[in-house]
Structures are given as structure tokens and as C-alpha cells.
């Protein structure tokens, strides 16, 4: 074995940053660094996690030729503590040291122990002083380690270990006692002391003591570096990264030497003989560590199968000789295969499917694929489908809807028969091989399914109840530093102002709404045609060490979270091939991500969430509430009765009219600007056209005609397609061939399956299914290198077959290239369009008000048993799409959420979505009904004045008194405390309203407040002059020695002054006890309360409380829009009016007429540089542009962003393609945006 020494103690960002920031080492980086520095191997020993280990093994496998016999061991740095000490500290709320200790697996059996140990630590974890603590208790270790003695190496870690702390703070005898305890537990031959290179007094002391202990006990010592960063030059970046989380953290003291040393670098801190012994011992230890693999074949979790009657083949009219795969399943000895077949046959009958050649051939083909994959796995794949079927039954039983299908599983007919999906792929001509095929036996299927977001927690708990707690885990994801978060983190660590950090983020270039990597922003990227961003570079260079830090930490792990959908289910306890940790919120997740878990044999079930299902379920709840539909005993039966695919209206013109008229708000997949624009552009008025629209809006090309435009051109005139193919040089036969594949898609390849079918055609490239799937993946994964490889293979194989270059170019340019960024598979597009059809059916068959109410309820975060934070921006945008439909909440009628009024076609606003009103407030209001006045309401609910103000602003009391301003006045009067009498304390507040005859006394009170009391101010010339001009003569007459003036400095004897003062203000004091004085003070209190809480008009009140306007837009109270000649956006043509030409970038451009529109900001999208403006006639998407977005969204100490919700704006610009483009170029206005400040006729305009 070559190499200078073995480093047993090293950390990675992936493994050690899950609770707090600790390391900046990437897995591949530290391995390469250790190899380049001459080490023979390292161990990755992160803090109570094993997350980095599979990544290390993968890296070793792919770099074996370079790394040779370099070895990576797998360890775990634990926190070893006494259980009793922890319990006592927690009970007494005392601090407690959590001692570091390192365990390293010698072999696979030892690694199994680490999985159990670290899982147990996370199970026992708790929060102490804001941090999750992960104890490994001595008693647990002593009880469980004996079964693994000899499989685990123990080492004493850093200064944070118990042994180090005893050496520093206690006696040698105690140190020996601890060493004896460790020796008995692990064995002398498996216990090592860690000597670390540093010249701090504590480390020098510990090193010396450990060497002596080694000589006394025979326990060997190692040289270890506890590496948290790779090299000394990375020290400041590491410090900045850690300080971004906590500026007060002592980073230098703890981490100054925590980097990976070469053997030569050790000489600066350790004696030569110590280095030689320690490194030699480490190499001897490395020899003991076996080479083993974490890789394991994937295992299919099994379900408990019921007793069933096997299918009697003699009772079926099927000629089994024609269907070998079906025959195989009849003869299979696997109980899962037999049950699978039983379910298929029963489902064929229940779903009234024909046992004809078409259906049986399809089943036979799919069963053959299942058979081949089963043989590859050595286990029945049918069990996978049975498990998925059971999971979905559990989902339904928890009270969640299940989507009709997601992804390629919609292509599989047997999945439809088992109720895994809800569409018949034979009817929709979906090829089974897109999901699973015999040719791809090593490519396990991945069934994705959609459920309700609100039920996610219940679903996971139900899975645990069925399979067992230690058999089910959510997958984890590692949160990494993207470009924007890299800027923020580095700036925080360097103490850069937050506003400046955000401005730096705004300077990052973006592509398809995604910020460029920091490296590309700084240095450009020739391969992607990116030039360095000079504005960003200039701003970065103003901050010392910012550039270096960002480049170092970009992409680093900085925490963990729960995977959006992935669930691990295992036959054995998951610690056989995985381990558990917890997110910050306490959710149990895997310690390895989905890919690394699959590497170790874990099978991922994707249980995704879809808000559309929450909305559909809420609509069903409302329909059941109003008895529009009937409960069928369970959720699935009820859903199937009314909304199963075969129960849906699919082609009613009036239903499509509702979609195009905007009655179907939150229309699934078409609610975005792009979706809505695509819908209108295509005029998609059939199910097939909606499927096409769903796919086409995702296809794009960098230059030239977009696929959707080409589709529409061909749809209008198919001869245009012929012309284009002829221009490409295709001959008659080639044109006929393309029509065979693309005729029904109007000449445009918009699905993955169609592209695969084209490449598998022997007259084009004759790809095998494996090759076609590899091409599909190269496109779907957005891997440019792989994409270019597959492109080269495509042309080579086509040319070998004799395919013309013209045909190859046509297929690649028109079919493969547009799918480069994103394309749907046909099954996914079909099933997702069916979700939209359910939404349309609800609105058409039962009334749009039910669908709209359901959408508002889900958007507001209150529906069924769900109470989450309301998304006011979404609520506002949704209501803005249906003006006049939503009415003010009612204090006596409103529920928590929105309620439909089907007779009037209106929606009653709920209590919970009111800004600032919580669940308990809403319950309080409901419980104490009815109310006949605001005073009655205050008495019964004891609601705080400010919350009651919000309710009045929302219009909750309009049914009691339609004069909302009068209600507000009554409220202010009711909540304003009125004193029985006043004192001079209140004089400053009401000074201006006190009768004139007391004015001199008032001024005396104000003067006294300057020289004494809590409002006293330092003596100055003004006070001095006032005293001598007005009070000195009278005061001195009564108190000759009541003041002094030494060196020109006035000093007044307050005691004597007060005696004189009280005589002077007797009249004022008497008046302060009168009703007149009390009334004046009360009115002043009311004015102050009003100014603080009630300024504005009814419209501005509604925007504050409801995030939208119910009756009148706020701008209807002012003439400013008219003064600026603001126009109705809807009156503008969809294309701007050209009024001349201007030149720019070497070419002539049309100059457009500028208009002004006025509205209120209700939301913004910083990724697209868009604000959403609520005008008098609806919502307008205003494209502000990158530069102006940065300018007007900028926050400073003096001003807020102009894009906060409720800001009123005038916007100069023009309309194009349904959007409004802000631009004041060559207009009479100086700026594209102007802010309207104030209210009503007192409003005024401010320019930036």
C-alpha cells in the first residue's frame, strides 16, 4: 500500500452540515486532495450521519484507474454521554458537554452497526438551547457493541472528546479510568488515541498526555487532522461560511487547524518521532479495514396478500398457446404472480373489458416485460405493482384523492386494471414500452402518483401503521447553495448589509428564469455563450474576499429537508441498508438521498402532492354540504360515481366556453400566464387539443419558429407541412414516412414516445428500445455532454442504415431539438389533462361558484381540517380574475373559509383569510354569535381593538350598518378609554385645545417638563432665556435663592420651583377636572387611534384587510389616473401601435406609442421581473424588465420596495401578447413607474 498515512477523522458538507454549518469539503474534493497530498486513504467521519459514504464509493469506482489502491473508510463522529447526566441536565435546564468520539467500520458488519447506532442517536435526539442534540448513550453502546466487537475501530477524536477534557481539567487517574472503560468495551487492539497537529496550549497538553498514556497502556496513537476544509488557503472561506449562520461563533479558536495536512505539513507542529510512529500506526490500521461495497440489488417490498382463489384457466376462453407470458403467469409458483393474475382477470370483468386479441396481446406484452424484469431481479416484479396498489388503497382510506396517473405508468394497461391509474392506455393509444419493457430489464419502473398536499402527513403515518414504523421513511434531500443563496450566505458571513446583498442577487444574469452559476457570472461560459456579467463583477469586487468565498461555497450542502414525494418502504428494518435522521422540524428521513438509497437496494415510491386534488376534494365537500352530490360510503366510491373518467363530460362546447371565459380559475396546468396564453392561442376546444396544448407550451427552440406556432400553422393548412419537408430536401417516400408518425399530431413531435418511435423506425435510425430510451434520457436530464453523444450516435446509426442526411436533419431539428429543455411523455400529458377535465366538469355540471369557492379556500390555506397560513397574493390574484363574485365577509354568516351562494352565484369571504385574523379568532367570532352592533361584538368576544378595526375594514359589519365609516367611528369611540379627570401629565397632548385663558399656565407646564421629570432635557440657552424672560422675576420674589447661575450655567432648585409652580397653575388644575377637559382628551386619543389605525377610505381598507377591492377600486376615489390620461388596459390592442422608427444595436426598430395604466400591486414574480397590477377592470401582468425591477424593488433605510402589496402605481408602456411592458423611452415621462401616495383627493404622485 502506497501513501504516507491514513487520515481517520474528516468531515464533508454533505454529512456534517445537516444541523449547523460545519464543513465546506465536497466528497470528491477531499478524496482528491488526500490523494494529491500523498495520503494512503481517509475515513469520512461526519457528525452522526453516514450520508457521504455512497458518494465516496461511487467516486472511487469511477476514478479507480487514477486513485489505484487509495482507500476510503466509513466512520461516524458520535456524541458519547451518560444517560443520567443528560436527563438531569434537561430537568434542571443546565448546560452539558456532548463529548466527541469517532467510530470507524472495519467491515460490512461493522457498517451495519453504524447504521443502527446513528439511527438510534437521531431517535434519542432532542433540542437543548436551540440545537438538536444527538446523544449516543454509554449504556446503549455497552449493550449493543459486544455483537460487533472487532468490527469497529474507536478513536478519541478532538479536544471536544471526554478524554481530552479530563486531561485538561481533571486528574490523570480519571483519564486512566476512562481509557480502561474504553479498552474493555472495544479491546486494546481496536482503540486508538488521536494526536492532532496544532500549537495551541490545550492541544499541546493533550498530545503530550496521550503519548504518555500510549506508552503506559500499549494503546497506539494516530495522527489525525479533523479536516473541515481541504487546505489552509480555504480557511477564510470556511470561516465566512460558518459565520453566515452565527456571527458570534468562535470559528478561529476551534477550526484554525482543522484542515487536511500532508505529512510534510505535520512537521510544523509535531515532533518527527511522533509523526513517524503515528503515521505508521495509521497505515497498520488501514490494512485492517476490509474492502466492501455498499451496493445492493434493489428489493421489492411485499404486502400481506389475502386468501384468494387461483384463476382456473379452463374456465377462460383464452388460447394460452398464443399468449406465452399469460401462460407463464398461470404456471408461476410465485404467490404474487398468481394474485396479480387473479386481480387482472377480475378487473377485466369489472371494467367490462373485452377478452379479445387486442386486449390479450397487450396484457401478454406487459406480462412478458414483468416476467423478464422479475428474472433479472430474482424476485417477482408483480409484487411491486401489488404494493403500489395497496399504497393507493391506503391513500384513499386516509381521506385523500388520488390523481388519475402521473408519468409513464399511465401507458401500462395492467396498472389501469389494478386501479393504479385511472385511464385506459389502449383507448388513448399509449405504448406500454414507455413504462416497462423486456429490453430494459435493468431499468426498474418508477410509479409516480399524486395525492392531496394537506394529507401528506396522514398518508405517511398510515403507511407506517401498515408496514411498521421501522420499515417506512421519507427520503431526504440535501439543500445546496444555489447562486442566490450563495450570495446571501457569503454576504452574511462578511457582514454585508442585507439590502446590498439583495441588490447583488438582482445583478445575477438569468436564463429561463434561473440565475447563472457564480462562476459563469464572474468568468463567463463559452460553451453556453455566456459573457462575464460586468455589473455583478464590479459590485462583487467592492467587498473583500466575497468572490473567493462564493466560488468556494456554491453548491455546498447547508441543510436537509424532506423529499417532495419519495418514500422508502422496506421488507426488513430500514437499518439493513439505510439509516434515519430528522429534519429541523422533526420529520424522519433517510440519511442518504434517493439515488444513494437506490444504490443500496432501496426502492422509491413517489407519492407526490397536487394542489389541484385538494381543490377538487374541497369542491366535493362543498357539493356534499349543499346536497348536490351524495356520499357513497367512502371517498373513492363517491369520486368514481361522479368524476371517474367514464363519467366525465368531454366535449360539451359550453364547458369549453367556461374555460376560455376564465370561469375555471386555477385551471390545472393552464393557470400560469404561459398556460393561459397557450390556451387562447391554440383555441383548444377538445380533449385532444388540450393534451397537445399541455405539451406544446413546454417545447421551445432557441431561434426561429416556435413549435406551437408551427403546429398552428400546420393545423390551419397541412400543405404547409409538405412545403417545409420539401424545403428540407425530403423525398416523397420520406414525407410519407413522416406522415405515418406525425399526421395525427399535425406534423409536430411533442411527446417523448413519438420521438422514441421515430428513432426506432428502421427507415430512420433503427434504434433499439434501449437506445431510444437513452436518447430520451439525454434530453430529459438536460445533460449537454450526454445530449451531444446521443446526437452523434443518432447520425452515425442513421448514416449506416443509409438514411438521407436530409431526413436525419429533419427529425433531429424538428423533433429532438425542441424537446431539449422540456417535453411531456404522452401518458403524463393525457392524465394531467384529465385532472383539468374534472375541474371543468365540477364548474359546468354544478355551477362555477363551487369551483371558484374551492380554489379560494385552498389558496387561503383553510379547507376541510386544514389551517395553514393564507397566501394573500394568490387569493388576491384569484379574486381579481372574477370581479364582482366575492362579497365582503359577514360577522354573523361567514365561516372559517369561503362559502358558495349558488342561488346568487356569489362567494362569501371567510373569516380566516382576513389579514391578521387567526383560527382562534375566527372560532371566537363563530362561537359568540349573533351580534347586533360593534359594541355587542366587543362585549361578547373581547377581541383586541386592532383586530376589530381589521374586521370593520373588511366590511364584516356592513350587514349591521352599511355606513362602514360610521361603524369605524363607533368602534374608535368604544375602544378609546376616557378618564374621569385629567392631570398636568395630559397637558402636552391637549395643549392646542385648552381654552386661551389658561394659555400662560399651559406654557408654564411645558416649561417645567423641560427642567424636571422623565421628559427633562439638558439645560440650554433657549430654556435659560425663557426662564429669565418670563418666570425669573415672579419666581425670585417668592424664592430668592431658588436658582443660581455659575459661569453662565443656570441651575434651578426644582423643589422650590414646584412649590411656586403649583400656585401658578391652580386654575388650570381645576379646569383639568372638568368634563370639557376630559372630553377634549378623549377626542385627542380618538384622533391618534384613527391616525394610527384607520386612515384611508373603504377601498384602501379592503386592500389592507382582504387583499382586494370588493366594491370600488381605490383609484376611483382620486382624479390622478385622469390627470395622467390613464387608459383601460383591455381597450388596448394586443399589439402595440408603431409611431415611428428608432435605431439600436445596428438595426432599425419600431418606436411604439406609450400609454399609461393605473392600478394596485397585488403580487410580484422576481424570477420573471413581473408585477401583477390590479386595475379597475382586472389584473394586468406588467413586465418591468430586469433593470427597472432591480431599481424599483430596491430597499434602503429610507424607502421600501415599490412592489409591496397595496402600492398604487402609474405605469408607462405598451401592450403586447396579453402583457403590459413598462417603458417610458421617447415619451414625455421621465420614468416608467410613478407611485401614487396618499388617499382620495389628497393623493399625490412620486417619481423615483
Whether pLDDT at 303 is above 70: yes
Spatial separation of the C-alpha atoms in residues 249 and 236, rounded to whole Å:
14
CA distance 221 to 214: 7
Four-residue CA torsion sign, 86, 90, 93, 98: positive
pLDDT, tens digit, 9 for 90 and up, residues 1215-1243: 988 899 999 988 999 999 999 999 888 89
Q: What is the pLDDT of residue 872?
A: 77
563 has a pLDDT exceeding 60? yes
Q: Would you state the cell numbers that stand for residue 1128, as one nine-digit string? A: 383601460
Angle of helix 964-975 relative to helix 1098-1106, nearest 10 degrees, comes to 70
Alpha helices in 136-171 (DSSP H): 138-144, 162-169
* Whether pLDDT at 1138 is above 90: no
User: What is the mean predicted confidence (pLDDT) over 919-942?
Assistant: 95
**What's the rounded Cα separation, in Å, for the pair 865 and 896?**
11
Distance CA 270, CA 747 (A): 74
Task: Report residue 506's pLDDT band, with 50, 70 and 90 as the boundaries.
Answer: confident
With 90 as the cut, is the pLDDT of residue 805 above it? yes
Please state whether 751 falls in left (phi above 0), alpha (psi between -120 and 50) or beta.
beta
Positions of E strands within 1036-1177 = 1043-1046, 1049-1052, 1138-1144, 1147-1152, 1155-1165, 1170-1175
Report the DSSP pairing between strands 588-593 and 472-480.
Answer: parallel
Q: pLDDT averaged over the chain?
A: 92
Q: 804-838 burial, b for 16+ CB within 10 Å, e for fewer?
A: beebbebbbebbbbbbbeebbbbbbbbbbbbbbbb
Q: Which CATH architecture has domain 6-288?
A: Alpha-Beta Barrel (3.20)
Rounded Cα distance between 209 and 903, Å, is 87
**Cα–Cα distance, 403 to 520 (Å, whole number):** 40
pLDDT reading at 866 higher than 80: no
pLDDT, one tens digit per residue, over 343-374 is 999 999 999 999 999 999 999 999 999 999 99
Q: 156, exposed or middle or buried, with CB in 10 Å at 0-12, 13-18, 19+? A: buried
Helix or strand or coil: residue 976? coil
Sole residue written with cell 398556460: 675
259 - beta bridge partners? Answer: 229
Return the pLDDT at 1048.
80
pLDDT tens-place string over residues 1078-1098: 999 999 999 999 999 999 999
C-alpha dist (Å) from residue 360 to 120, 345, 722: 51, 11, 38
- pLDDT tens, residue by residue, 661-713: 989 989 999 988 788 889 999 999 999 999 999 999 988 887 889 999 999 99
Max Cα–Cα distance, the chain, nearest Å? 130
Average confidence (pLDDT) over 999-1005? 93
Residue 1036's CB is within 10 A of a number of other CB atoms, namely 13
Contact 476, 591 (CB under 8 A): yes
Q: 257-266 b/e with 16+ CB inside 10 Å = b?
A: bbbbbbbebb
Q: Which three cell numbers stand for residue 1239?
A: 388617499
Q: When comparing pLDDT for 435 and 1186, which is higher?
A: 435
Q: Could you tell me which residues come within 8 angstroms of residue 349 by beta carbon, excluding any fewer than 6 positions away?
A: none
Look up the pTM and report it.
0.81
Angle, CA 130 vertex, CA 115 and CA 591 arms, to 5°? 20
Neighbours of 1227 (CB within 10 A): 18
pLDDT at 1: 59
Q: In this predicted structure, what is the pLDDT of residue 782?
A: 65
The Cα 1063–Cα 1033 span in angstroms is 15
Coil, helix or strand at residue 1024? helix
Contact between 290 and 107 (Cβ < 8 Å):
yes
In the prediction, which pLDDT does 781 show? 67
pLDDT at 783: 67
The model's pLDDT over 38-94, given as tens digits with 9 standing for 90+, comes to 999 999 999 999 999 999 999 999 999 999 999 999 999 999 999 999 999 999 999
User: 3-state DSSP call for residue 763?
Assistant: coil
Give yes or no for a contact between 1102 and 1084, defined as CB atoms under 8 angstroms apart: no
* C-beta of residue 1160 within 8 angstroms of C-beta of residue 1206: yes
**Parallel, antiparallel, or unpaired for β 41-44 and 71-81?**
parallel
pLDDT of amino acid 879: 82
pLDDT for position 158: 95
Question: What's the rounded Cα separation, in Å, for the pair 321 and 325?
Answer: 9
Rounded distance, CA 671 to CA 881, Å?
11
* Residue the block writes with cell 377478452: 355
Angle among Cα 1049, 1051, 1057 to the nearest 5 degrees reads 150
Class of domain 1113-1247 (CATH, top level) = mainly beta
* Exposed / middle / buried, residue 870 (Cβ in 10 Å: 0-12, 13-18, 19+): buried
- CA–CA dist 415, 424 (Å, integer): 9
Instruction: Output the pLDDT for position 497.
Output: 86
Query: What sign for the dihedral angle of Cα 622, 628, 632, 638?
Result: negative
First to last CA, the chain: 70
Contacts of residue 1199, defined as CB under 8 A and 6 or more positions apart, other chains included, come to none
For 39, residues 6+ apart whose C-beta sits below 8 A from its C-beta are: 3, 4, 5, 6, 7, 70, 260, 262
Amino acid at each position: 500500500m502506497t501513501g504516507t498515512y491514513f487520515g481517520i477523522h474528516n468531515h464533508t458538507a454533505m454529512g456534517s452540515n445537516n444541523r449547523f454549518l460545519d464543513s465546506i469539503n465536497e466528497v470528491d474534493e477531499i478524496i482528491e486532495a488526500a490523494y494529491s497530498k500523498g495520503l494512503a486513504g481517509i475515513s469520512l467521519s461526519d457528525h452522526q450521519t453516514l450520508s457521504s459514504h455512497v458518494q465516496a464509493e461511487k467516486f472511487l469506482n469511477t476514478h479507480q484507474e487514477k486513485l489505484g489502491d487509495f482507500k476510503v473508510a466509513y466512520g461516524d463522529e458520535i456524541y458519547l454521554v451518560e444517560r443520567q447526566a443528560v436527563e438531569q441536565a434537561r430537568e434542571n435546564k443546565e448546560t452539558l458537554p456532548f463529548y466527541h468520539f469517532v467510530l470507524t467500520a472495519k467491515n460490512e458488519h461493522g457498517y451495519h452497526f453504524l447504521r443502527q447506532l446513528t439511527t438510534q442517536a437521531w431517535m434519542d435526539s432532542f433540542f437543548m438551547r436551540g440545537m438538536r442534540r444527538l446523544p449516543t448513550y454509554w449504556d446503549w453502546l455497552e449493550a449493543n457493541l459486544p455483537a460487533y466487537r472487532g468490527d469497529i475501530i474507536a478513536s478519541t477524536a478532538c479536544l471536544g472528546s471526554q478524554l481530552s477534557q479530563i486531561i485538561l481539567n481533571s486528574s490523570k487517574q480519571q483519564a486512566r479510568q476512562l481509557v480502561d472503560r474504553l479498552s474493555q468495551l472495544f479491546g486494546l487492539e481496536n482503540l486508538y488515541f488521536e494526536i492532532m497537529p496544532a500549537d495551541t496550549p490545550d492541544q499541546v497538553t493533550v498530545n503530550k498526555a496521550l503519548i504518555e498514556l500510549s506508552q503506559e497502556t500499549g494503546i497506539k496513537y494516530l495522527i489525525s487532522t479533523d479536516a473541515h476544509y481541504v487546505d489552509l488557503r480555504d480557511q477564510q472561506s470556511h470561516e465566512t461560511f460558518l459565520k453566515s449562520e452565527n456571527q458570534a461563533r468562535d470559528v478561529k479558536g476551534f477550526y484554525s487547524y482543522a484542515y487536511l495536512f500532508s505529512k510534510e505539513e505535520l512537521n510544523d507542529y509535531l515532533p518527527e518521532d511522533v509523526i513517524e510512529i503515528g503515521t505508521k500506526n495509521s497505515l497498520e490500521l488501514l490494512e485492517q479495514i476490509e474492502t466492501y461495497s455498499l451496493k445492493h440489488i434493489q428489493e421489492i417490498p411485499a404486502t400481506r396478500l389475502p386468501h384468494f382463489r387461483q384463476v382456473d384457466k379452463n374456465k377462460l376462453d383464452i388460447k394460452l398457446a398464443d399468449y406465452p407470458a399469460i401462460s407463464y403467469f398461470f404456471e408461476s409458483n410465485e404467490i404474487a404472480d398468481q394474485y396479480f393474475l387473479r386481480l387482472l382477470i377480475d378487473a377485466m370483468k369489472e371494467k367490462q373489458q373485452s377478452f379479445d386479441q387486442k386486449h390479450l396481446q397487450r396484457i401478454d406484452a406487459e406480462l412478458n416485460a414483468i416476467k423478464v424484469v422479475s428474472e433479472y431481479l430474482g424476485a417477482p416484479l408483480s409484487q411491486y405493482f401489488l404494493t403500489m396498489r395497496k399504497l393507493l388503497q391506503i391513500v384513499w382510506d386516509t381521506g385523500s384523492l388520488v390523481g388519475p396517473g402521473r408519468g409513464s405508468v399511465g401507458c401500462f394497461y395492467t396498472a389501469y386494471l389494478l386501479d393504479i391509474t385511472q385511464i385506459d392506455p389502449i383507448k388513448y393509444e399509449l405504448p406500454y414500452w414507455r413504462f416497462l419493457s423486456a429490453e430494459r430489464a435493468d431499468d426498474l419502473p418508477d410509479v409516480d402518483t399524486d395525492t392531496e398536499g394537506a394529507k401528506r402527513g396522514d398518508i405517511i403515518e398510515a403507511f407506517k401503521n401498515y408496514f411498521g414504523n421501522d420499515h417506512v421513511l421519507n427520503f431526504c434531500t440535501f439543500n445546496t447553495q444555489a447562486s442566490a443563496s450563495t450570495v446571501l450566505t457569503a454576504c452574511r458571513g462578511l457582514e454585508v448589509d442585507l439590502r446590498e446583498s439583495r441588490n447583488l442577487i438582482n445583478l445575477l444574469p438569468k436564463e429561463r428564469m434561473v440565475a447563472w452559476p457564480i462562476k459563469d457570472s464572474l468568468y463567463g461560459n463559452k460553451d453556453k455563450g455566456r459573457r462575464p456579467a460586468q455589473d455583478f463583477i464590479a459590485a462583487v469586487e467592492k467587498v473583500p474576499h466575497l468572490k473567493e468565498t462564493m466560488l468556494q461555497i456554491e453548491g455546498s450542502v447547508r441543510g436537509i429537508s424532506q423529499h417532495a414525494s419519495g418514500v422508502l418502504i422496506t421488507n426488513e428494518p430500514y437499518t439493513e441498508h439505510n439509516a434515519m435522521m430528522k429534519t429541523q422540524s422533526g420529520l424522519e428521513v433517510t440519511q442518504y438521498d434517493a439515488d444513494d438509497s437506490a444504490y443500496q437496494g432501496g426502492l422509491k415510491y413517489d407519492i407526490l402532492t397536487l394542489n389541484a386534488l385538494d381543490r377538487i376534494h374541497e369542491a366535493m365537500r362543498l357539493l356534499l354540504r349543499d346536497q348536490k352530490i351524495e356520499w357513497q360510503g367512502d371517498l373513492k366510491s363517491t369520486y368514481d360515481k361522479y368524476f371517474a373518467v367514464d363519467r366525465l363530460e368531454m366535449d360539451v362546447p359550453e364547458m369549453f366556453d367556461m374555460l376560455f371565459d376564465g370561469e375555471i380559475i386555477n385551471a390545472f396546468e393552464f393557470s400560469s400566464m404561459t398556460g393561459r396564453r397557450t390556451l387562447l392561442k391554440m383555441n383548444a376546444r377538445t380533449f385532444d387539443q388540450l393534451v397537445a396544448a399541455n405539451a406544446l407550451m413546454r417545447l421551445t427552440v432557441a431561434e426561429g419558429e416556435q413549435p406551437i406556432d408551427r403546429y398552428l400553422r400546420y393545423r390551419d393548412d397541412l400543405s404547409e407541412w409538405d412545403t417545409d419537408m420539401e424545403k428540407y430536401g425530403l423525398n416523397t417516400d420520406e414525407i410519407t414516412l413522416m406522415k405515418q408518425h406525425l399526421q395525427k399530431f399535425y406534423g409536430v413531435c411533442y411527446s417523448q414516445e413519438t420521438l422514441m418511435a421515430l428513432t426506432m423506425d428502421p427507415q430512420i435510425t433503427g434504434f433499439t428500445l434501449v437506445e431510444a430510451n437513452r436518447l430520451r434520457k439525454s434530453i430529459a436530464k438536460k445533460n449537454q455532454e450526454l445530449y451531444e453523444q446521443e446526437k452523434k450516435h443518432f447520425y452515425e446509426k442513421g448514416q449506416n442504415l443509409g438514411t438521407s442526411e436530409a431526413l436525419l436533419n429533419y427529425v433531429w431539428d424538428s423533433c429532438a431539438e425542441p424537446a431539449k429543455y422540456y417535453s411531456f411523455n404522452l401518458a403524463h400529458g393525457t392524465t394531467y389533462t384529465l385532472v383539468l377535465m374534472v375541474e371543468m366538469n365540477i364548474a359546468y355540471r354544478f355551477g362555477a361558484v363551487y369551483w371558484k369557492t374551492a380554489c379560494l379556500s385552498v389558496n387561503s390555506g383553510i379547507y376541510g381540517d386544514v389551517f395553514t397560513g393564507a397566501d394573500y397574493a394568490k387569493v388576491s390574484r384569484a379574486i381579481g380574475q372574477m370581479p364582482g363574485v366575492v362579497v365582503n365577509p359577514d360577522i354573523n354568516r361567514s365561516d372559517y373559509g369561503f362559502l358558495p351562494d349558488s342561488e346568487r352565484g356569489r362567494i362569501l369571504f371567510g373569516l380566516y383569510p382576513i389579514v391578521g385574523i387567526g383560527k382562534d379568532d375566527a372560532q371566537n367570532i363563530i362561537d359568540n354569535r349573533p351580534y347586533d352592533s360593534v359594541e355587542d361584538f366587543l362585549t361578547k368576544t373581547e377581541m383586541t381593538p386592532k383586530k376589530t378595526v381589521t374586521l370593520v375594514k373588511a366590511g364584516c359589519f356592513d350587514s349591521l350598518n352599511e355606513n362602514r365609516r360610521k361603524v369605524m367611528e363607533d368602534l374608535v369611540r368604544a375602544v378609546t378609554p376616557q378618564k374621569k379627570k385629567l392631570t398636568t401629565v395630559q397637558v402636552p397632548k391637549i395643549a392646542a385645545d385648552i381654552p386661551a385663558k389658561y394659555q400662560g399656565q399651559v406654557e408654564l407646564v411645558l416649561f417645567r417638563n423641560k427642567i424636571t421629570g422623565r421628559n427633562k432635557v439638558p439645560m440650554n440657552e433657549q430654556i435659560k432665556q425663557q426662564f429669565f424672560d418670563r418666570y425669573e422675576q415672579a419666581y425670585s420674589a417668592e424664592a430668592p435663592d431658588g436658582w443660581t447661575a455659575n459661569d453662565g450655567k443656570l441651575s434651578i432648585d426644582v423643589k422650590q420651583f414646584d412649590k411656586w409652580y403649583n400656585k401658578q397653575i391652580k386654575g388650570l388644575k381645576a379646569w383639568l377636572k372638568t368634563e370639557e377637559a376630559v372630553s377634549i382628551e378623549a377626542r385627542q386619543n380618538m384622533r391618534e387611534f384613527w391616525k394610527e389605525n384607520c386612515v384611508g377610505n373603504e377601498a384602501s381598507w379592503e386592500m389592507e384587510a382582504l387583499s382586494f377591492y370588493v366594491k370600488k377600486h381605490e383609484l376611483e376615489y382620486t382624479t390622478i389616473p385622469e390627470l395622467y390620461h390613464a387608459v383601460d388596459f383591455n381597450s388596448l390592442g394586443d399589439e402595440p401601435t408603431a409611431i415611428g422608427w428608432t435605431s439600436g444595436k445596428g438595426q432599425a426598430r419600431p418606436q411604439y406609442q406609450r400609454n399609461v395604466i393605473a392600478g394596485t400591486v397585488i403580487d410580484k414574480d422576481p424570477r420573471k421581473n413581473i408585477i401583477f397590477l390590479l386595475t379597475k377592470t382586472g389584473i394586468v401582468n406588467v413586465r418591468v424588465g430586469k433593470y427597472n425591477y432591480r431599481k424599483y424593488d430596491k430597499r434602503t433605510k429610507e424607502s421600501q420596495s415599490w412592489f409591496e402589496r397595496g402600492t398604487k402605481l402609474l405605469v408607462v408602456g405598451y401592450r403586447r401578447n396579453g402583457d403590459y411592458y413598462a417603458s417610458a423611452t421617447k415619451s414625455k415621462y421621465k420614468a416608467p413607474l410613478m407611485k401614487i401616495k396618499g388617499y382620495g383627493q389628497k393623493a399625490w404622485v412620486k417619481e423615483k
